Amino acid sequence: MSLLTQWCLSETVKDMRAYLWVTDDILNQIRTLNPDGNDKIKKAQEIVDRIYRRDFYKVIGEKRVKWRDESKSLPKNCLKKWMEEKLTTDKDLFEIQEVVFHYGSGMTNPMNNVKLHRNIKKASEKEKETEHCNGDKGKTSKTYKRVQRAVMTKDEISDMLPAKFQQIYFRLVWKGDTSPQSYQKILLEFSKLKGYDDEDIKVDFIDTMQVGDSEKSD
């Protein structure tokens, strides 16, 4: 591809020669651009300026999801949307972030999907003679062993396993004025969300950041 090809920033990954030019200096380039009435450039510059000023959005509340035994798995963003509807503050001033931790298999035990090879045995001389490489007569395969693929049995899996294999947190991020008085209302509403209960989904919310904790950590 020609070195003269122009890429927008989000597409530079398609050409490694272009991607090599994407360094931390890109932030400075954004700050020095002439917006010329372009609202997207203005917004990007405001965000970058906030990064340089260390003026970040503030996490003012956090809840951990505790599953009840009879509950089924959550549809994606189900509780996030429900929480946003329960909070009456202007939606532009806050954001609910759903943070999910697991071992790669969601709520299921990842060891159930681990494949291993066992029961290795040598091939017989007859098998060596009759097995050919790539169908070429006279060339025998160098694979003189047979391997059986299997799933680990319960006896082979350690008993030292967690009770749950997935953990979900919901964080309340405040985008408005950083004074405590400005977000007391939404913080109070957020603290009153104690659980969710319908036919399929039954969970409790455990506060991991209580009202006022965000001020103590500053």
Q: Please state the domain extents for the chain.
A: 9-52, 58-108+161-216, 115-151
Q: What per-residue confidence (pLDDT) applies to 144? A: 42
Whether pLDDT at 81 is above 50: yes
pLDDT level of residue 189 (50, 70, 90 thresholds): very high
DSSP characters for the chain? --TT----GGGGGG-HHHHTT-STHHHHHHHTS--TT-HHHHHHHHHHHHHHTT---EEEEEEEEEE-TT--PPPTTHHHHHHHHH--S-GGGEEEEEEEEESSSTTS-GGGG-EEEEEEEEPPHHHHHH-BSTT-TT-B-S--EEEEEEEPPTTTS-S---S-SEEEEEEEEE-S--SGGGGHHHHHHHHT--EEESSS-EEEEEEEE-TTHHHHT-
Whether pLDDT at 26 is above 70: yes
Pick the more confident residue, 70 or 36. Answer: 36
Whether pLDDT at 202 is above 50: yes
Question: What token pair was written down for 171?
Answer: 């964080």
pLDDT level of residue 142 (50, 70, 90 thresholds): very low
pLDDT mean over 74-87: 85
Q: What per-residue confidence (pLDDT) applies to 154? A: 72
pLDDT mean over 85-109: 90
What gap in Å lies between CA 177 and CA 184, rounded to an integer? 11
pLDDT level of residue 210 (50, 70, 90 thresholds): low
What dihedral do alpha carbons 206, 208, 211, 213 form, nearest 10°? 170
Whether pLDDT at 157 is above 80: no
- Chain centroid offset of residue 68 CA: 23
Q: What are phi and psi of 116, to 5 degrees?
A: -140, 170
168 closest CA partner among 206, 197, 111, 112: 206
Whether pLDDT at 193 is above 70: yes
Whether pLDDT at 44 is above 70: yes
Which range among 13-17, 59-63, 75-79, 131-135 shows the weakest confidence by mean pLDDT?
131-135
Q: What per-residue confidence (pLDDT) applies to 214? A: 46
pTM of the predicted model, to two decimals? 0.65
pLDDT level of residue 94 (50, 70, 90 thresholds): very high
Kindly state the percentage of the chain with pLDDT values over 70. 73
Whether pLDDT at 136 is above 60: no
What gap in Å lies between CA 177 and CA 84, rounded to an integer? 19
Inter-CA distances, 7 with 1, 3, 12, Å: 12, 10, 6
pLDDT level of residue 173 (50, 70, 90 thresholds): very high
Pick the more confident residue, 145 or 56. Answer: 56
